Amino acid sequence: MKRSLMLLSVLVLCLSSSLAYGQRKLTGFFEIQTTTPDLKSNLILDGGLNYQVTAEWGAKAFFLEKGGWAQAYIGPTWTPVPYLTLFAGAGVSQNQKLFELRTAYSASFLYQGVGLSAAVEMNNPAYQGDDKSIWYDLNLTYQPLRWLIVGLKDRRPVGFGPQVRFKYDVLELWAAWAPLDAERAQYDLARFILALKFNL
């Protein structure tokens, strides 16, 4: 928890400095997530920074903490066209005192209110065929109103289902109902992801 609070403080200071100079090259977010039914043990704190160097190239940093597990990574972003951004990064994950290499890849597409994003993260054993450390998050969304986003989400290991997002200024409240575990072909109708996000 102390580590997350320290990272959050650095994030806020960096963003405040950027905004003080009237520049929007540096943006970021901080987010609190959890998953039913055990809200406390599934509590996740995550945040990130994005710095746009040119119209095409930038850099992204991300951190996340859940219980005794944490990760952080950094890497370049490439925006070949205004509606598509690609990312590849590397860093570490920590479980108690054990550190492992962590890599991450993502692609995001946004055009006329239609969004498609895919993100995958993994530890080193995944490259030797062990898929236990592979995490992914897939989203198909549509924004009919300035304050409303609807769509579908598939997140490993949570599940697949519809999602809705409400936006007001820098705040974003979102929820996803994920009853279907596509890998095991099982259902859990009480499984939800709940989140509060601050976009800065």
Choose among 2, 58, 56: nearest CA to 27: 58
Tell me the domain boundaries of the chain: 2-199
**Are 64 and 42 contacting, i.e. CB atoms less than 8 angstroms apart?**
no
Residue matched to tokens 């950027």? 18
Provide the pLDDT for residue 23: 54
If pLDDT is split at 50, 70 and 90, which confidence band does 9 have? very low
Provide the pLDDT for residue 60: 98
Q: What does pLDDT average to over the chain?
A: 89
**H helix intervals, the chain:** 2-20
Choose among 90, 152, 161: nearest CA to 117: 152
CATH architecture for segment(s) 2-199: Beta Barrel (2.40)
108/97 Cα distance (integer angstroms): 34
Taking only the tens place, the pLDDT of each residue in 90-139 is 999 998 878 999 999 999 999 999 999 999 999 989 999 888 889 999 99
Q: How many CB atoms lie within 10 A of CB 5?
A: 11
Can you give the pTM of this predicted structure? 0.87
The first and second tokens of residue 18, run together, are 């950027």
Taking only the tens place, the pLDDT of each residue in 41-58 is 999 999 999 999 999 999
